[in-house]
Amino acid sequence: MKKIEECTVGIAGLGLMGGAFAMAFARLGVPRERLLACDADARTLASAKDQGLVAEGSGEARLMLPRCDLVFLCLNPSSLLRFLAAHQGDFKSGALVTDIAGIKGSVVLAAERFRPDVDFIPGHPMAGSEKGGFDNAGHCDFRGKNYILTPLARNTKENLAFLEDLLRRMGFGRITRTTAGDHDEKIAFTSQLCHVIAAALVDCADDPSITRFGGGSFEDLTRIAMLNAPMWTELFIENREKLLEHLRRFRKSLDAIGSLAASGDAQALEKILRGVREKRSAMNG
């Protein structure tokens, strides 16, 4: 692989994350003339070009892909799978490709069946913002964030090292390599279950003036309820088997605590809460 400054980089999808990656590439010294983008939205493309962020933006991926040494696919899961099917022939031979989809089972399957002369390393940056879209890309901070890669057996050692080095230089903290199954299982808990909980908490609120009585807890628990509805609908449904199992376990814990409060069993309730405090402390970092 060339040095990043010498690569032609393509970004497919200039949403919040695509925009944030474009900015990160610019900061790393990829010259504008080698930073290309495609997006379905003409206004977003015009805005990215006006800001001097990308040299060329097009609604047509096939104009960009044949020239790119490195491609970041910043699309929702379903759009990503359609994109891969439609544009398999357009990628440059020898290109390094990665994606950012929040579910990896179906993506890894598609990547394994992809053209063997293109090195596709599936990934998932654990970064984002409750303010979505390209206009908010500047709010998406990569510094210290986790990044999960679910490499294929056929990915080259060199490309994996290149991508990890690139992500670290963009500011990401811990980079974890794991399987798609393990990723989807863990993410169902740390991300999808948390978003379902936040959404349910807002859904059941009966008084919009409730924040006058807030001390930060409700605010902290529901910040992520400002979610991108189409994307999270896809993620919840695509990963439902694992999500529903975590939801079942969460309800069990919820009911156990509720029952102890109902019965007034202070000793047992206090024991659970002490255990929770210790467990959460041990999880830090």
Q: Which of residues 81-140 bind a copy of itself (CB under 8 A)?
A: 126-128
Q: How far is the CB of 78 from a copy of itself (least distance, A)?
A: 10
DSSP the chain: ---GGGS-EEEE--SHHHHHHHHHHHHTT--GGGEEEE-S-HHHHHHHHHTTS-SEEES-HHHHGGG-SEEEE---HHHHHHHHHHHGGGSPTT-EEEE--S--HHHHHHHHTS-TTSEEE-EEE----SS-SGGGGGG---TT--EEE---TTS-HHHHHHHHHHHHHHT---EEE--HHHHHHHHIIIIIIHHHHHHHHHHT---GGGGGG--SHHHHHHGGGS--HHHHHHHHHHTHHHHHHHHHHHHHHHHHHHHHHHHT-HHHHHHHHHHHHHHHHHH--
Is 143 a residue that touches a copy of itself (CB under 8 A)? no
Which is closer to a copy of itself, CB of 159 or CB of 191?
A: 191
Binding residues for a copy of itself, total number by CB under 8 A? 87
Q: How far is the CB of 94 from a copy of itself (least distance, A)?
A: 31
Binding to a copy of itself in span 208-227, by CB under 8 A? 208, 210-218, 220-227
Which is closer to a copy of itself, CB of 72 or CB of 91?
A: 72
- Which range in 55-63, 66-74, 162-170, 194-202 contacts a copy of itself by CB under 8 A? 194-202
Which is closer to a copy of itself, CB of 3 or CB of 212?
A: 212
Which is closer to a copy of itself, CB of 161 or CB of 254?
A: 254
Which is closer to a copy of itself, CB of 93 or CB of 267?
A: 267
Is 35 a residue that touches a copy of itself (CB under 8 A)? no
- Which range in 1-9, 29-37, 63-71, 199-207 contacts a copy of itself by CB under 8 A? 199-207
